[in-house]
Structure 1
């Protein structure tokens, strides 16, 4: 997955084709005079298939339970399921189970994927054994005794392979995407190290060299000491200034563009207000913070807010409002920065290396949080980060 956080809006946008297909299957089965005793379980399994990306393994276990309960119920009322070539699961249930298997294989760990798939396959086998056979009850009327056991096994195997293949394909895609992000992070870190090394060499080393040269001159000619001491003092002060600037960069007191951000103090809410005030943008600020946010977390929150505002200024056109929300929700600091701007028609001045989002994602993940960024359905751009308080105390 692109992110471990999958909000309801993103889920709806991603899963609506599956929800529509499952709903069509359910309606078709009911129009075909299907068993109404089967409907509640079918709806539950279909809903779990749509929601599976949020908690795949739990969805697999819950779907297996729903299928088993439905199987016992229709056995008690002696109403076989309809809408499937294979005895046991109905067409809508089969499609929902296939979707859940694909999601579990894609997102869950190898062990959970194996267990979840085995549980669902085993549940399908049990359902075929427990549920009344449609063909045994209605086959004579339809003049068709139904598929043979071999045909049913072949169909079930093909559907299982299709589900597993789909899950493995998307799992591989996600792994490639994660590898690409890591490589971009490594490249950004390397570029930052090179920039710091260049600064050390061109600025700090220059002043230190001047200090050494003038000190050696004073040793060689003691009478010139009074003349070179002011030069040594000036070079030392300039070297200290350069070092403070570098340390400030390392402590995240400056952003990549060179505009200073206030260092984190004991009052995170006040620090965020200062960052917003310095941005010069039409910001609507919402704060709900305690007074004891850990310093390391506070610095990261400030950096996220500043970088998000910088991106809004550089990469969006026609921004009339930027909403900044920083609040504690369920033992985590939730940072949401969204704007209503349009994508720029031309590249920003100086270009964009794309390292801003990469750096923010890395910062959040290092603190054990979740990060998403992208365009909103209503227009504009949104950055969302959730940083756990427990990880930094």
Structure 2
């Protein structure tokens, strides 16, 4: 069976209003004078399936229908004292849970699965009227609702459930279309940026190599002067190509590898930086490797920026801590801004790339000069979510 892969935390954030409403209805039925334990147990099962239905909507619909039928048979066999029904033989909590499941299965399942799930739930709900002991016949026969009243009430609830599911299904479709359009636009912009990079940078260096090589061929005596220029242009072209390849692969070629121990990974990055680093680590909980890679990249790029763009650095403070569900990264140096351009250029990541990476992960990023001199980079990334 299919699964929407909705995480438990996301499910809790999405379903807590429904959970509170169903618990309220169940609590009222639990402390009422009518209704047996079998009926309350069955209602609790159907309510639990309604809360979990976004993970596997079609399975939840089939399981809820089975639970309604089984509960109805047990109530008939035990001849339990019936509870006041809301529609057909369903009590309020069961009716609300069935409505929620119908809405979810219509919203998320494939059309034919949605149709089967709704029909099965409707059949199971209708069977409760015939299988369960009749409350109105035993207690208030003169006030028993007519068949047309039951049909109208059930039809209204069904229309509300189907309308809700179809509305959110349309919204999801519109959102998916908008996302695809944004992705296509981003891909087009990225292709244009790569084309400009190839034309303005790589082609420039390659053209220089060709021109200087031709000059060396025309004037052999000038070869010793031209060869260093060719070597430099070749290295710059290779650097630009590596950056382009890293962009196309969705990762940087020199990105550090992350393991299950973020503390050791950070120590390794710091040790390889060849800078006077004072390291502070406070990692009381484990950090997922996917998040650890971003943390390591932030530390590595901040140290690289400090080495390239600052002069007179006597100390770099690197702090990586976890508290209140946030990974906090702080890299600060005491240097002054370099007056000349750094050797090898400014790199392919930079502050803009760091900010984009942090914001994509739902975090916060800040970078700028320190009050007492030097430069500081701060980032906060959520551990979960």
User: Which of 143, 162, 169 matches 1:171?
Assistant: 169
Q: Could you tell me whether the CA contact under 8 Å between 1:312 and 1:339 is conserved in 2?
A: no
8 Å CA contact 1:60, 1:104 repeated in 2? yes
Contact 2:58–2:117 (Cα < 8 Å) also in 1: yes
Cα 1:16/1:248, change in 2 over 3 Å: closer
* Rounded Cα–Cα distance in structure 1 between residues aligned with 2:269 and 2:207: 37
Map of 1:289-368 to 2, 5 A cutoff? 304-307=291-294, 321-322=321-322, 338-339=325-326
Task: Tell me which residue corresponds to 2:53.
Answer: 52
Q: Aligned pair 1:214/2:201, yes or no?
A: no
In structure 1, C-alpha distance between the alignment counterparts of 2:138 and 2:246, rounded to whole Å: 79
Which residues of 2 match residues 9-20 of structure 1 at below 5 A? 9-20=9-20
Q: 1:114 to 1:78 in 2, by over 3 A?
A: same
Aligned to 1:261: 255
1:165 positional shift: 1.2
- Cα pair distance change 1:286/1:38, threshold 3 Å: closer
Alpha carbons of 1:309 and 1:237: their partners in 2 closer, same or farther (altered >3 Å)? closer
Kindly state the Cα deviation for residue 124 of structure 1 after the two structures are TM-superposed.
0.8
Partner in structure 2 of residue 127 of structure 1? 128
Find the aligned partners of 1:245 and 1:14 in 2 and give their Cα distance.
40
Higher relative contact order (CA 8 A, sep 6+): 1
Change in CA separation of 1:139 and 1:59 when aligned onto 2, cut-off 3 Å: same
Structure 1 residues 236 and 57, CA gap change in structure 2 (3 angstroms): same
Residue 84 of structure 1 aligns to a residue whose secondary structure is coil
Tell me the distance in 1 between the aligned counterparts of 2:154 and 2:192. Answer: 57
**1:165-213 per-position Cα deviation (integer Å, ceiling 9, x unaligned):** 1122222233333333333433443333333322222221111111222
After superposition, the CA RMSD in angstroms is 4.0
Q: Which has the larger radius of gyration?
A: 2
What is the alpha-carbon distance in structure 1 between the residues aligned to residue 299 and residue 56 of structure 2? 33
Q: TM-score, normalised by structure 1?
A: 0.67
- Partner of 1:46: helix, strand, or coil? helix
Indicate how the Cα distance of structure 1 residues 59 and 65 shifts in structure 2: closer, same or farther if over 3 A, else same: same
Where does residue 382 of structure 1 map in the other structure?
382
CA separation in 1, counterparts of 2:363 and 2:226?
58
Q: 1:35/1:235 Cα in 2 relative to 1: closer, same or farther (>3 Å)?
A: closer
**Distance in 2 of aligned mates of 1:281 and 1:194:** 42
Instruction: Count residues in correspondence.
Output: 320
Matches within 5 A, 1:282-293: 282=281, 284=283
Partner of residue 335, structure 2? none
What SS is found at the alignment partner of 1:5? coil
Q: How far 1:96 moved relative to its partner?
A: 1.0
Counterparts of 2:355 and 2:260, CA distance in 1: 30
Structure 2 CA distance, aligned partners of 1:351 and 1:214?
35
- Which residue does the alignment assign to 1:33? 33
* Match in the other structure for 2:113: 112
* Structure-2 change in CA distance of 1:285 and 1:147 (3 Å): same
108 and 222 in structure 1: CA distance in 2 versus 1, 3 angstrom threshold = same
| Unpaired segments ≥5 residues, structure 2 | 271-278, 302-318, 329-350, 365-379
Q: Deviations over 1:16-49 (max 9, x none)?
A: 3322322322333344422214121111112221
| Structure 1 residue 123 displacement after superposition | 0.4
TM (normalized to structure 2)?
0.68
Cα distance per residue 1:246-274 (max 9 Å; x no partner): 3344445539xxxx523x5xx95689944
Q: Tell me how far apart the structure 1 counterparts of residues 226 and 299 of structure 2 sit (CA, whole Å).
A: 50
CA–CA distance in 2 between the matches of 1:171 and 1:384? 28
Contact 1:41 1:67 (8 Å CA) reproduced: yes
